[in-house]
Amino acid sequence: MDRKFSGKRLLLAAAAAVAAIVLIVLLSLWTHDLQQRDLENAVKVALQGIVMNEGDRALFEAAGIPVDEIHYSYEDLPLFSGDKGAWEYSETDRRAISLYRSAAPSVVQILPSSDLSGNGDGAGVILSSDGYIVTNSHVAPSSTASYTVKFYDGSTSDAVLVGTDPLSDIALLKTGKGGLSAIDVAPSSSVMTGESVYAIGHPYGYGWSLSAGIVSGTDRIVSSSSAVIPSMIQTDAAINPGNSGGPLLSENGMMIGLVSSIHTQTGTSDGVAFAIPSERVLDSVGELIDTGAVHRGWIDLLSVELNSAIAEYAGLPVSEGILVSQVVPGGNADKAGIHGGNQATQYGQSVIYIGGDVITAINGEPISGYKDYFASLFDTDPGDKVTLSLIRDGMPMTIDVVLIERTAENSGWIAR
């Protein structure tokens, strides 16, 4: 009997011990959970304090993650869309989606009024809410006075040609439709080679298509059958027939250039395309609105961009500037006393003449090559007088010359 009683007491004691152990474990877990919650709340408060006092970037830096820039331009993107979360899009994807949604309504399709196909000849960009639309002069030539413009929402409107600047491949249209979505324009002077760019246009009639690429180069001189255009932006974004006149956009969705041409051996995109810088576009548009035409000054001479090889061959004391190969007999440059060369020399596919003057500055602005030469004459008018700084026979001198009007023909009087 005593043994049974002792066994029961032993079992009860063991059960009590187990219960005590379980209770201690549960209390320990509960205490740990409370401590964990307190720790999490403390961390949460600390992180909120960093964001409120120092900003989002400080939060990343506190985590050891370097951040150069944070963008907040995707408020219109849902966190979840159907079965796919927006978090599944990369940063590049979200940026492209956002800028397309912002810029596409500012892009139009341009058709001659007599065209019934609906495919259009190219694109255009809405510059103002009251109906000014810029495009290329090869899309809207001066030979056609009226056009039909198709908008992003599918509506159409008649438009008249305000004027063209064929030497810059720019044309300006005006539609009577108001309340339009104007593009945001950014200066192209800060554009850097390597930065991402986007183009919106209508390649082969596929309306409002987006293509992406990078800036492949800047300050390119592009020659065509009708013009020589300086300071062009080069890109590898896919540009095909139908993209002409559309915008070249920065990562922020702002227009930095107007798509103009491609260099191709096939008639389609070979990854070498060019856009007119936004500053040049706005300059031409301003003159077209004011006068309906653009007039620029020019010097009537055949020029060569100087380089070290030419300078060494010709025994020149400078290796930068514009070499005067020939002047137009009886022209303004000839009358001013500018000297052309007298020794014919093969230069690539051209024949140039060395021994003439070297232009080193125009109106005091240094001229190192064609970029400076074109830029210095860009804002001049026919009839203006400019002062040329020259090197002749190794000696510096200055000569004043009256400018003629730049035309498609004489703007091609350059050897490259």
* Residues carrying an active site annotation: 138, 169, 244
User: Rounded CA gap, 356 and 303, in Å?
Assistant: 10
Q: How many C-beta atoms lie closer than 10 Å to residue 130's C-beta? A: 14
User: Rounded CA gap, 220 and 63, in Å?
Assistant: 44
User: Distances in Å between the alpha carbon of 24 and those of 10, 11, 14, 19?
Assistant: 21, 20, 15, 8
Q: Tell me if 148 sits within 8 A of 159, measured CB to CB.
A: yes
From 202, 199, 181, 185, select the one nearest 105 (Cα to Cα).
181
Q: Is the dihedral of CA 115, 116, 120, 121 positive or negative?
A: negative
Q: Is the dihedral of CA 158, 162, 165, 170 positive or negative?
A: negative
User: Rounded CA gap, 296 and 384, in Å?
Assistant: 10
From 345, 333, 347, select the one nearest 410 (Cα to Cα).
333
From 125, 71, 93, select the one nearest 212 (Cα to Cα).
93
Tokens in use for 17? 């011990």
User: Rounded CA gap, 146 and 156, in Å?
Assistant: 13
- Between β-strands 228-235 and 273-277, what pairing exists: parallel, antiparallel or unpaired? antiparallel
- Between β-strands 247-249 and 322-327, what pairing exists: parallel, antiparallel or unpaired? unpaired
CA 381 to the chain's CA centroid: 28
Helix (H, G, I), strand (E, B) or coil at 146: strand
Q: Tell me if 247 sits within 8 A of 254, measured CB to CB.
A: no
Kind and range of the H or E element at 13? helix 2-54
CA 1 to the chain's CA centroid: 101
Helix (H, G, I), strand (E, B) or coil at 39: helix
